[in-house]
Amino acid sequence: MSDNRLAELVTAALEAEFLDEIRFGSGGERPHTWASQWKLCGRAMALDLLHPEDRREVDAGACARMAWGNEFEIGVRTRLERAGRRSDPRFCVEGSQEHFRLHHRDDPSRVVLTGKIDGKIRIERDATPFEIKRGQSYRGCRTVADLLAGRWSASSVYQLLAYLLGMELPEGLLVVDSGDVPTLIPVLLDDHLDEAEAFWAAAETASECKHDGADLPDFSPNPEHCTGCDHRGKSCSPPWHNGEGPYITNDPDLVASIETVIGTKAAAKEHAREWERIKSLCRGKELVLIGSNTVTGKPSARGWKLTVESGPGAAAAPAVVATTPQKDRKSTGDSLPGGEARRAAVVAVEDGDFEKVHDIMEVEEDEIHLEELAHGWVVMKGRQRMTAGYATMMGASEAWQSQSGGP
Ligand code: SF4
């Protein structure tokens, strides 16, 4: 199995593994808002409850990120437990996935916001809740202000604030992946009471929309909030006049351009996929002939530069030899044009679908010619086809000579 095929096979299996583990996570109906689901737009929070079907299918990449996040959380918690013994005063880690809930302020029987907390750090009588976060959006964040400035990282602050409200605690900790020692960011409820109250109120409104048929909150006043929103174009159609509106043109050149872009999208993907396949074959080789097409290679600053030409190659020939220089070969070297004998890497092409027969088959040319020419293979030295005289001397058949275009 080629390196590429093996990589594709294993990647597909990994994707299936991640999808199977996580996919169920965020789907389905919800009776109320989850603490981890804070959104910039209150309407989106209400629509999360009313239209869960709007949510995008979770792909393998998202599943993998969630799985790495879960594993990071377990690892950090274990480290915290062990680190407690080194602290003065000592601390311990307690409570895992402890539930909390917030009720509607006008109807204490109605739950509007729930969540599970990762744990608490206890020092004597004080227990401080913490939440562990990992992901690209948290990198470089060292303060609550940093977290609130990021669209995705901000939700972690609101999540912890909801815990503090629900548990009536003054302070929590966000434990954030920094790439090395995690960063611990304290979050004080008093400093962010307005944000905490706004999240609670938005969860109450979402519950009223879901269970009482209340009107949806207004569209977000900021069109940027709609970018990436699951509900946009489904259960929500925000008015365009929030922004400058679309730029409209019927310029025939641009219409032709966009039609070309759309029409060649699939072909471009196919091109990229097949080119990867060719590159993996040709990397490190100076010359490869595939059917009647020529691929030449040379070292470049970025590795190995390949150039493809349509012909002239071994059009009728079913095989290719690319070479690297070696010392002079005594017995038959003078029969090759150009003089210098070479070692050969042999690659076969059959019925338009190439496969590696020998990957860098480092054998003396004598062996190649005697064994392979009998099967009608063409041997190349640099860019030149081997002479018919040389082929004859090495025992190639008449049929091969005419097939390969020898004189
Ligand atoms: S599309 Fe915009 S206005 Fe509508 S729910 Fe999403 S963020 Fe809010």
What distance in Å separates the CA atoms of residue 386 and residue 335, rounded to the nearest whole number?
A: 8
Q: What is the DSSP string of 30-82?
A: -SSEEGGG--S-HHHHHHHHH-GGGSPPP-HHHHHHHHHHHHHHHHHHHHHHH
Q: 394 CB contacts (<8 Å, ≥6 apart)?
A: 332, 335, 366, 369, 370, 373
Per-residue pLDDT reduced to its tens digit, 130-157: 999 988 889 889 999 999 998 889 999 9
What distance in Å separates the CA atoms of residue 83 and residue 89, rounded to the nearest whole number?
A: 12
Q: Which of 45, 56, 226, 240 to mutate to test the pocket of ligand 1 (most atoms within 8 A of CB)?
A: 226
Q: What are phi and psi of 376, to 5 degrees?
A: 85, 25
Place of tokens 């207004």: 218
First and final C-alpha spacing in the chain: 39
The Å distance, Cα 278 to ligand 1 centre, comes to 45
Residues 180, 53 contacting (CB under 8 angstroms): no
The Å distance, Cα 40 to ligand 1 centre, comes to 9
User: Which pLDDT belongs to residue 311?
Assistant: 64
User: Which pLDDT belongs to residue 225?
Assistant: 87
Where the chain has pLDDT below 50, the residues are 25, 241, 313-407
Domains of the chain: 3-237 (3.90.320.10), 270-403 (no CATH)
User: Which pLDDT belongs to residue 1?
Assistant: 62
- For residue 6, give the amino acid letter: L
Task: Answer yes or no: is the C-beta of 47 below 6 A from any ligand 1 atom.
Answer: yes
Among candidate residues 67, 68, 71, 74, the one with its CA nearest the CA of residue 21: 67
What distance in Å separates the CA atoms of residue 255 and residue 73, rounded to the nearest whole number?
A: 50
User: Which pLDDT belongs to residue 113?
Assistant: 96
> Would strands 119-123 and 353-355 be described as parallel, antiparallel, or unpaired?
unpaired
Alpha helices by DSSP H, listed for 115-212, are 144-149, 154-167, 193-212
Q: Hey, whose CA ends up nearest to atom 4 of ligand 1?
A: 236
Q: Hey, whose CA ends up nearest to atom 5 of ligand 1?
A: 44
User: Which pLDDT belongs to residue 244?
Assistant: 57
Burial 330-348 (b: 16+ CB within 10 A, else e): eeebebbeeeebbbbbbbe
- CA distances to 92, 104, 171 from 128, in Å: 11, 25, 7
What distance in Å separates the CA atoms of residue 88 and residue 161, rounded to the nearest whole number?
A: 28
Place of tokens 């019925």: 351
Task: Answer yes or no: is the C-beta of 232 below 6 A from any ligand 1 atom.
Answer: yes
The Å distance, Cα 87 to ligand 1 centre, comes to 47
Task: Answer yes or no: is the C-beta of 238 below 6 A from any ligand 1 atom.
Answer: yes
Residues 39, 206 contacting (CB under 8 angstroms): no
* Ligand 1 closest atom vs CA 42: 8
Residue ranges with strand state E in 248-352: 287-290, 293-300, 303-310, 319-325, 342-350
Q: Hey, whose CA ends up nearest to atom 1 of ligand 1?
A: 232
Q: 148 CB contacts (<8 Å, ≥6 apart)?
A: 154, 157, 195
Residues 88, 64 contacting (CB under 8 angstroms): no
What distance in Å separates the CA atoms of residue 304 and residue 284, rounded to the nearest whole number?
A: 6
What distance in Å separates the CA atoms of residue 381 and residue 240, rounded to the nearest whole number?
A: 65
Q: Hey, whose CA ends up nearest to atom 2 of ligand 1?
A: 226
> Would strands 107-117 and 33-34 be described as parallel, antiparallel, or unpaired?
parallel
Q: Which of 33, 215, 219, 237 to mutate to test the pocket of ligand 1 (most atoms within 8 A of CB)?
A: 219
User: Which pLDDT belongs to residue 309?
Assistant: 82
Structure-block tokens of residue 192? 């962010």
User: Which pLDDT belongs to residue 131?
Assistant: 94
